[in-house]
Copies of this chain bind each other. A is one copy, B any other.
Amino acid sequence: MLSKNLIKYLHSLQLKKYRQEHNTFLVEGAKSVLELLASDFQIESVVTTDIFYKENSQKLDKQPFRVEIATADELSRAGTLQTNDAALAVVKTKPNDFLYAEKGEYVLVLDDIRDPGNLGTIIRIADWYGITKIICSLTTTDWYNPKVIAASKGSFTRVRGYYTELAAYLEKVRNTEQGTGVYGTFLEGKNIHQTTFTDTGYIVMGNESNGISPTVEKFVSQKITIPRFGGAESLNVGIAAAVVLDNLQRK
């Protein structure tokens, strides 16, 4: 049985305040925990069902973290998933290190993405398309929110995030990296089917309701748009990110 203190600690990590206080976050469910065990993240502890433990004891035993056995019911109540019959881990967050696009690389820039499901989906899409760095505005939802981690389906282990004030960041990019494209999606932008992408660059995705903010728009050197053939007013930001990255990577 899990101790009251541990349950209290696990519950506290659903809130950003306590994740920042402890520099730890939750990873839940079989797939996410398995991807985590194969990554370089520093794990503090794992709570696992007896079955999941037996199936993965090799991966769990050789490492220097605490392992606790719990029932599926205890696991579900300790975490945020509706059901979890596998495992949950408490993991050290990574430092908020500066990231930028190296030569030949593309980086995603998120201007005020508020929905955790959208951020997690975007991390997963970035990972599919080989993008390993995402710059987030300070108003973007917390990377370590359990819903973000769950929606990323393990891709949080391969993609890094850097939170910063975007105007200052993009100002720096513009001054130090000549010839780097900063692409942003706008309704009146150039058709992405006819866009040639520079070798190195940044792709800015805007807020779910308001798109890219005016302060960030000033730094966009190439306005692009996903052509519309029917009646829908808009696409979800995750969908738009996938279509843009597919066009970027097809060259």
Please list the residues of chain A having a beta carbon within 8 angstroms of any beta carbon in chain B.
121, 124-132, 153-155, 158, 193, 226-236, 238-239, 242-243, 246-247, 249-250
Complexed CA–CA distance, A230 and B134 (Å): 14
- CB atoms of B153 and A233 under 8 A apart: yes
The verdict on A130 contacting B230 (CB below 8 Å), with A121-B239, A236-B121 known, is yes
Complexed CA–CA distance, A193 and B247 (Å): 9
Of all chain B residues, the one with the shortest Cβ separation from A250 is B193
Chain A, interface SS category: loop
- CB atoms of A230 and B121 under 8 A apart: no
Contacts of A249 in B (CB 8 A): 227, 229
- CB atoms of A131 and B230 under 8 A apart: yes
Looking at A121, A131, A132, A243, which has the most chain B CB atoms within 10 Å of its CB? A243
Contacts of A228 in B (CB 8 A): 128-129
Complexed CA–CA distance, A238 and B241 (Å): 13
The verdict on A130 contacting B229 (CB below 8 Å), with A124-B235, A236-B121, A239-B238 known, is yes
Complexed CA–CA distance, A172 and B227 (Å): 33
- CB atoms of A230 and B129 under 8 A apart: yes
The verdict on A128 contacting B238 (CB below 8 Å), with A243-B243, A243-B246, A246-B247 known, is no
Contacts of A236 in B (CB 8 A): 121, 124
**Chain B nearest CB, measured from A132 CB (Å):** 7
Contacts of A124 in B (CB 8 A): 232, 235-236
The verdict on A242 contacting B235 (CB below 8 Å), with A193-B250, A227-B249 known, is yes
Contacts of A234 in B (CB 8 A): 153
Instruction: List 6 A–B pairs whose Cβ atoms lie within 8 Å, in order of A's numbering.
Output: A124-B236, A125-B235, A127-B232, A130-B230, A153-B234, A227-B249
Of all chain B residues, the one with the shortest Cβ separation from A131 is B230
Of all chain B residues, the one with the shortest Cβ separation from A121 is B236
**Chain B nearest CB, measured from A174 CB (Å):** 27
Of all chain B residues, the one with the shortest Cβ separation from A249 is B229
Complexed CA–CA distance, A230 and B167 (Å): 29
Contacts of A126 in B (CB 8 A): 230
Looking at A126, A236, A247, which has the most chain B CB atoms within 10 Å of its CB? A236
9 tightest CB-CB pairs across the interface, nearest first? Answer: A130-B229, A130-B230, A127-B232, A128-B232, A193-B250, A158-B231, A239-B242, A127-B230, A243-B246
Looking at A121, A127, A228, A231, which has the most chain B CB atoms within 10 Å of its CB? A231
